[in-house]
Amino acid sequence: MAKDNFFSKDRKMYDLRHNREFLSWYKNKMRHGYNSMFNVDDLQRLIDFISMWYYIKYPDRYYEIEDGNVDLDFSNITDISNNMDFNEMLYRLPKNIIGLIMGIYRSNYSGSVPIYDDKGNIIRYEGLVGAEIIKNNQTDGEGLSRIILEARSSDGLVNPNDVKKNFPMVKLTNTNLDLLFDELKELKGFDLTHLMQIIFNHTTDIELRNRLIYYISLKILYNNYSTPYNNYRRSKAFNKEIKENLLIKLDESYLDELMQRELEKQSVKLKK
Amino acid sequence: MNFDDLSRFYKEDKKEYDLENNLVFLKWFYKKIKMGYSSYMSVSSLQAFIDKLDLWYRFKYPERKLIEEEGFIEKEFNDIVNVTSSLDHKQLRYQLSYNELKLLDSYYRSNNGYSIVGRNNVTNEYITFNIYKKHISKDFVTDNEFQLSALSTNGKIKDEDLTTILPKEKKLTLDEMYKILKDNHDYDVSELQRILFIHNTDIELREKIFNFTMKKMIYSKSTTPKRGYKRSLSLIKELNSSIKNLNLVSNDIDKIIEDDYISTRELWICKLFKNIHNHIWCKIYLLLIKRKRK
């Protein structure tokens, strides 16, 4: 495969400090009120760490063995790629980065509650966020009241009983913060600034995460120290694991197209 | 260590591990190449090697594991499998490219060589080289050529080859042979000299790369200097025990931790001693701090 030709197409979008499009998007979001938890260096470190993680998880020798070219020095090596699962990767990342990857809702009101099994043992802790909603009750002669609505940080799910109690006019029984916001903004008498901030932060976090996934996949693809085909396989493996663990859809067509184009070029050269 | 102390600590970082901007290293590297050194790797590949080693040790000793050792346990990762023990030296080698392995081992090398499969299917790699002896006859001067072989791992010359030049000597290494013959003008030992030069530069380069990696670990902003220091000490211990003739020492990183890892308050007290009393008090104070830390 024409290695140089393949790598010369690399626009180095994963190099955030020099990715003007990303920098202007990021600054623009912050100008619009996005409270980012990270500076560009933090994000760059994340890209570098995860791309290197996949390089270690699937070293060239791993693919050599898969392709039937066994290096005798490593014929009896224990394959650790199974141990390097998604959870192991998260274990090695800072807490706020894990939050970004998992796409959690965040707020300045946050906490956690223990979740118990049948025997009363704590299995895990569930993260919670609080959304502050100011209710204007002037028509009832009661003035302003402040509601802190608790939601699950993983998916923003709100307790239906809380919704029923605080917003009897809302007919949704199973709702999360986004749906609740859509309902409440149509009604008068609510100050939703805080809730809006949470949702804006969340949607921007998700957008940022998806951009980072794309950049990581490109960084893996254009790793100069491996072959394009091994990089392509690594990048696909990364996307596959992301899809399985985060339950999100990813557009990988750019990867396949790049590889297809490269293979076509190669076959034309061979025919000549 | 508070925020001010940390920022002072990071200010001391000369970023030697950033090879493309490390002028001292680049000058040294290209000077060696000019002198005839052929490197296994380019500067960018060496940089990738440093990054890989750094990540390997971060992977092997995760931040959360080190935090747990400091007494803070996070319940979210209760069920994590501890893979640290399975990440041995062989696994590290498995991750490295052919050239990275060559530098890691830094065996003797020459343009020619052969290998012999010995007992227990162990392959012994030999390098071959020539030594020329001037032979002066009546009319002209000719060179007698002697081909010698040496084990690439430790540079031990084959005894049967050795007898052709130095019949009385046995079990000599390449370095020892060079020392004997270098001042003897009857012998042309330039090939041997080149092998030794390349080997010594390999060793020097390897040591530099390991030292840069350790500095990268210590000055990493993804962790604390203490945890970076712990990882560096593990690197020294593990590589010294796995690679023959590697004698990595922790002097450089000890100095970083001892000199730079002094809090502003400690520095202020030290300055006070220096002004009011004399310098010896400052030294005693720092010594006490270091002892307390140990």
Query: Residue A19: which H helix or E strand, with range?
Result: none
Q: Mean pLDDT throughout A207-224?
A: 95
Specify the 3-state DSSP secondary structure of A104.
coil
Chain A: give the shortest CA distance to residue B109, in Å.
20
Q: Which among A73, A83, A225 has the least Cβ separation from residue B48?
A: A225
B286: nearest Cα among A84, B247, B274: B274
Cβ–Cβ pairs < 8 A, chains A and B: 66
Q: Residue B140, Cβ neighbours under 10 Å: how many?
A: 7
Residue A131 to residues A108, B109, B185, Cα–Cα distance (Å)? 9, 68, 88
Q: A103 or A8: which carries more pLDDT confidence?
A: A103
B51 with A48: Cβ contact below 8 A: yes
CA B141 distance to own-chain centroid:
44
Which pLDDT score is estimated for B81?
A: 74
Residue contact A92–B93, C-beta within 8 A: no
Residue A66 has what pLDDT?
Answer: 83
Task: Convert the pLDDT of each residue in A97-115 to its tens digit.
Answer: 999 999 999 999 988 888 8
* pLDDT score of A42 more than 70: yes
pLDDT at position B261 is 59
Q: Which residues contact B169 (CB under 8 A, 6 or more apart)?
A: B162, B177, B180
Q: Find chain B residues with C-beta within 8 A of A225's C-beta.
A: 45, 48, 97
- Rounded CA separation B165/B168 (Å): 9
Tokens of A50: 């995860």
3-state secondary structure B177-213: HHHHHCCCCCEECHHHHHHHHHHHHHHHHHHHHHHHH
Preferred mutation among A51, A53, A56, A70 to probe B, highest tally of B CBs within 10 A = A56
Task: Assign 3-class secondary structure to chain B.
Answer: CCHHHHHHHHHCCCCCCCHHHCHHHHHHHHHHHHCCCCCCCCHHHHHHHHHHHHHHHHHHCCHHHHHHHCCCCCHHHCCCCCCHHHCCHHHHHHHCCHHHHHHHHCCCCCCEEEEEECHHHCEEEEEEEEEEEEEECCCCEEEEEEEEEEECCCCEECHHHHCCCCCCCCCCEHHHHHHHHCCCCCEECHHHHHHHHHHHHHHHHHHHHHHHHHHHHHCCCCCCHHHHHHHHHHHHHHHHHHCCCCCCCCHHHHHHHHHHCCCHHHHHHHHHHHHHCCHHHHHHHHHHHHHHHC
**Mean pLDDT across the stretch A52-61?**
90
Q: Answer yes or no: do A125 and B76 touch at CB < 8 A.
A: yes
What are the C-alpha distances in Å from B66 to residues A186, A229, B224? 51, 37, 10
| B148/chain A closest Cα distance in angstroms | 27
Name the 3-class secondary structure at A71. coil
Beta carbons of A124 and B63 less than 8 Å apart: no
Is the ipTM value over 0.85, yes or no? Answer: no
**Between vectors from CA A43 to CA B41 and to CA B15, what angle results, nearest 5°?**
45
The residues pairing with B142 across neighbouring beta strands, listed in sequence order, are B135
pLDDT for the residue numbered A270: 65
Alpha carbon distance B201, B195 (integer Å) = 10
Which A residues in the span 112-141 are in contact with B, Cβ-Cβ below 8 Å? 122, 124-125
Domain ranges of chain A: 3-104+201-265, 109-198
Strand partners, A148: A132
Provide residues of B within 8 Å CB-CB of chain A.
44-45, 48, 51-52, 55-56, 58-59, 62-64, 75-77, 79-81, 83, 86-87, 90-91, 93-95, 97, 221-222
Amino acid at B109: R
Torsion angle of the four alpha carbons B254, B255, B256, B262, in this order, in degrees rounded to the nearest 10: 100
Name A142's Cβ contacts closer than 8 Å, sequence gap at least 6.
Answer: none
Question: Is there a contact between A80 and B52 if contact means CB atoms under 8 Å apart?
Answer: no
A56 chain-B contacts, CB cut-off 8 A = 52, 55-56, 59, 95
pLDDT given at position B271: 54
Instruction: Give the span between the Cα atoms of A13 and A220, in whole angstroms.
Output: 12
Backbone CA torsion sign across A140, A141, A142, A146: positive
For chain B of 294 residues, list the mean pLDDT of each consecutive stretch of 10. Answer: 76 91 97 95 94 91 85 73 82 91 94 83 87 74 81 90 81 91 86 95 96 94 89 94 89 80 55 54 68 61
pLDDT greater at residue B260 or residue A259:
A259
Which member of B52, B55, B97 has the closest CB to residue A60? B97
Q: What is the mean pLDDT of residues A154-174?
A: 84
Backbone angles phi, psi at A125, to 5 degrees: -115, 135
CB of A180 within 8 A of CB of A202?
Answer: no
Q: Chain B contact for A109, CB < 8 A?
A: no
